[in-house]
Amino acid sequence: MSGRVVLLIEDNEQNRYLTTYLLEGNGYRVVSAVDGRRGIEAAHTLVPDLILLDIQLPEMDGYEVARQIRQVPKLEGVPMIAVTSYAMVGDRERALESGCTGYIEKPINPETFITEIEQHLPAKGRGGVL
């Protein structure tokens, strides 16, 4: 079990459920936020080991959320992966330009999802604590 903390910023209940199920089943502790504002607030409080960020969020899109998170010095080194249904030409690049360090297309593949996110984590976690 990793004990690492993952901040999941996702407004869709089914996507939150599946992602949380997969992560918790692999030893991660998941904290969820249903919109960008709450996600930014949670990131400040938690300083998680990883942020999974939907791009299509209500009120503030994931690109803006990523830009704002990256302006916080204590969050600069936190891996942030866009997990999104935006899969058109240029969407990956736009996510990376906004501050994401990775990009995973939805629908996620439950068989490879954990391996995909772990590629973005350092060998040892900081053990993010509330």
Mean pLDDT by 10 residues, the chain (130 residues): 87 97 98 98 97 95 97 97 84 94 95 96 55
* Entry pTM: 0.91
List the domain boundaries for the chain: 5-118
What are the start-end ranges of the E strands in the chain?
5-9, 29-33, 50-53, 80-84, 102-105
SS3 12: coil
Confidence at residue 124, expressed as pLDDT on a 0 to 100 scale = 58
Burial of 116 (0-12, 13-18, 19+ CB in 10 A): middle
- Does the 5-118 domain belong in CATH 3.40.630.40? no
In 3D, which of 82, 77, 105 has the Cα closest to residue 94? 82
Q: Are 54 and 25 in contact (CB under 8 A)?
A: no
